[in-house]
Structures are given as structure tokens and as C-alpha cells.
Amino acid sequence: MSTGLLSVDLDALVSNWRALDAMTQGETCAVVKADGYGLGAAKVGRALARAGVRRFFVAVAEEGAELRQALGPNVEICVFSGHMRGDTDMIGDMMLTPMCNTIGQLTRHLEALPEHPFGIQLDTGMNRLGLEIDEWASVAEIALSQNCRLVISHLACADAPDHPMNRQQLEQFHLMTDGISVPRSLAATGGILLGPEYHFDLTRPGVGLYGGMPFADARPVAHLDLPVVQIRDVAEGETVGYGNVWTAQRPSKIATVAAGYADGLQRVLSDRATLWHAGQPVPLVGRVSMDLITADVTDLPDLPGSLSVLGADQTVDALADQAGTIGYEILTSLGPRYARRYSGG
């Protein structure tokens, strides 16, 4: 095999969901947008539904339609981007629950699908999606007298527990929703970790399920192993790869490994990432190219057949730090070329 192997540990995924679920009193949903954070929404969704998840969130209606086909009729699928123009048939046929973000979306929904369930997204300060306080005041009575299933808002700074924005948004959410009888939701992964005040009736974790920060106790879900195509001896003073950016300082053994920036190992990782072999770090040397990277295996006791990028030795956030990004982006950048294997669940 010449492509990398992406192994997805569905037992770890379910165990992360259970751990987050155990921290709250209310319902714990699951966010599976962007193809389940790159790990496969259908497989991830089925494993979580078997574990007891009854409500899923996706970004757009198309993702919701695919998820419905994978999961069948017995779960609720909520769409963060709401009821967009042109989506009415899909929302109706696929039994999706749009989170209405504007008065226009709410009107479109109530006119086109009057009995059909929907939710409301409120803006409590992030200024990305949702109704502002005065808009909500003007439509709350109508919305809440219809088939409104939940009212949500989203925290901008939940990964920074001491950020004053968290409490500010919490207070705004109370101001906008206290007294309503529809279930309320404010917390994603970060919000769950902020504590019970932030939990309300249901929580919406995403990244923590997939082993990412800010859920520091998460088990790794994605394991990425790359086959070594070739190992060569490089003399002191010779260079490796495009641009000659790495020069051997000693006689070296260089492994050429089958993955590159087309597979989500960003070029910014050139000459700075770490790969692993049986618990030992192996420095990536030279430029990352489209399909290949090169690593210095001189210090390994034997010649490796493969090197690991993600898994027990390196979390998605450890790799993200090396690339100057976040675990979310590492996961959702994993390319389509890997062989994918699912275990457990």
C-alpha cells in the first residue's frame, strides 16, 4: 500500500462523548459538521447514535440530508445555517431542523413549512449567526407559539475560561431566554468545561468528541500512519528536497514517506514537524512536497516500514502547534487520499 492509513477509533469517540455527557445533567448532542470533523460523518454518526445520541448538528442542509440517509428517521438533525433560500424541499423531505438565524429565515420557514420543526439561533455577542436582542423581541412570541424545538447561542471565547466574554454572553443569553419553555443550549465543548452554569438543557460538543482541545482528557480518535517508500544514506553536506533547505550535518539516513500537503500535512510544517516511530520522535526534514515528506531516521535502532503522524504519540493539537493552527483545522484538512479504517463503535 502506498497511501497513508487513517484509522478512526470509534470506541475512543464514544468514550469521549460519554465523558462529556457525564459532566452535564441535560441532553448531550453531537456536532458532525464538515464530514464529522473530517473523520466521516456517517460512520461517526452511526457510532454515536448507537451510544445514545438523539440529536445531531451539521453546518448546512446538504450535510443534513446525507446524515439522514446514514442514520434513518429516529434522530433529530439540526442545521446551523438555518433555512436558506432553495433548501425548503430538502428540509421538508429529509426532516431537517433549521436553526433560523434571521427574521427572513424564520418567515421563510413558517410560510413554506408551517408545521415543520425549527430552532432559533440567537446572537449573544459573537456577531456571526443569530438574531439580535431587538429582532428576537419582535418575533419571540410568534416563534415560540409554533413548532420551535430549541433556542441556541454560541460562545466566542469558551476555550479561554477566564475570558470576560464568557460571562457576558451567559448574561445576555439569560436576558434573552429566561422564562421560555423551549429547551435552551449555549455550550459546545469549551462551554461544557466552563461548568454547569453554561449547560442549560442541552450541550453541543464537536471537537472534544474527536479528541481535540479544549477537552484535554479526550482520548485520541484519529491515528495516521504513513508508509515509508524509500530510505537512503545521505552524506554530510548533502541536501534533501525542494529548495535545498536542509543540509545533512552528519552522515544520515533519510526516509521518504507517502503523504504531503495534498493530504493535509501543510507545507508550513516543512523542516519543523515531528513524526514518530514506536514512541521515538523522528524529525521531518526539508520541504513538505505535494505527495511526499522526508524524515531523518538516523537515530532509530532499525529501519521503519512506516511512521506515525497522529495517534498515541502525537495528538492533533501537538501537530497543530507545529503548524501554527488548531486541532480543528488539522482534522478537517485530512485529505481524501488516505485509506480509512474504522474500529470499534
Ligand X SMILES: *Cc1c(COP(=O)(O)O)cnc(C)c1O
Q: Which residues are catalytic?
A: 33, 242
Interface with ligand X includes 17 (CB under 6 A)?
no
Of 13-21, 110-118, 161-169, 182-190, the segment contacting ligand X by CB under 6 A is 182-190
* Chain centroid offset of residue 262 CA: 19
Interface with ligand X includes 53 (CB under 6 A)?
no
* Chain centroid offset of residue 152 CA: 19
Which CB sits closer to ligand X, 5 or 23? 23
Q: Which of 43, 46, 83, 154 touches ligand X (CB under 6 A)?
A: 154
Of 100-108, 188-196, 253-261, 298-306, the segment contacting ligand X by CB under 6 A is 188-196
CA-CA distance, 274 to 108, in Å (whole number)? Answer: 51
Least distance in Å: CB of 246 to ligand X? 36
Using CA atoms, how far residue 338 sits from 182, 231, 298, 320, 335, in Å, is 43, 21, 27, 19, 7
Of 166-174, 206-214, 236-244, 288-296, the segment contacting ligand X by CB under 6 A is 206-214
Which CB sits closer to ligand X, 47 or 285? 47
The one-letter code for the residue type at 316 is V
β pairing state of 184-185 and 202-203:
unpaired
Interface with ligand X includes 205 (CB under 6 A)?
yes
214 cis-preceded (ω within 30 degrees of 0): yes
Interface with ligand X includes 188 (CB under 6 A)?
yes
CA-CA distance, 214 to 282, in Å (whole number)? Answer: 26
- Grid cell locating 231: 530510505
**Angle, vertex CA 45, rays to CA 39 and CA 46, nearest 5:** 115
The site that binds ligand X (CB under 6 A) totals a number of residues, namely 12
Interface with ligand X includes 4 (CB under 6 A)?
no
**128 annotated as ligand-binding:** yes
Interface with ligand X includes 222 (CB under 6 A)?
no
Interface with ligand X includes 206 (CB under 6 A)?
yes
Interface with ligand X includes 184 (CB under 6 A)?
no
Which CB sits closer to ligand X, 58 or 248? 58
Least distance in Å: CB of 98 to ligand X? 13
Interface with ligand X includes 220 (CB under 6 A)?
no
Least distance in Å: CB of 190 to ligand X? 6
Report the DSSP beta bridge partners of residue 28. 203
The one-letter code for the residue type at 152 is I
CA-CA distance, 183 to 203, in Å (whole number)? Answer: 11
DSSP output for 237-291:
T-EESGGG-EE-SSSEEEEEES--GGGT--GGGTTT-EEEETTEEEEEES---SS
Least distance in Å: CB of 31 to ligand X? 4
Task: Give the torsion sign (CA, 34, 39, 40, 42).
Answer: negative
* Chain centroid offset of residue 206 CA: 5
Which CB sits closer to ligand X, 124 or 252? 124
Interface with ligand X includes 82 (CB under 6 A)?
no
**290 annotated as ligand-binding:** yes
Q: Which residue has the cell 439561533?
A: 121
Q: Which of 88, 105, 189, 315 touches ligand X (CB under 6 A)?
A: 189
Interface with ligand X includes 31 (CB under 6 A)?
yes
- N- to C-terminal Cα separation, the chain: 26
Which CB sits closer to ligand X, 190 or 264? 190
Interface with ligand X includes 101 (CB under 6 A)?
no
Which CB sits closer to ligand X, 80 or 261? 80
Burial class (CB in 10 A: 0-12, 13-18, 19+), 303: exposed
Residue numbers at the binding site for ligand X (CB under 6 A): 31, 33, 80, 154, 188-190, 204-208
For the annotated binding site for substrate, the residues are: 128, 290
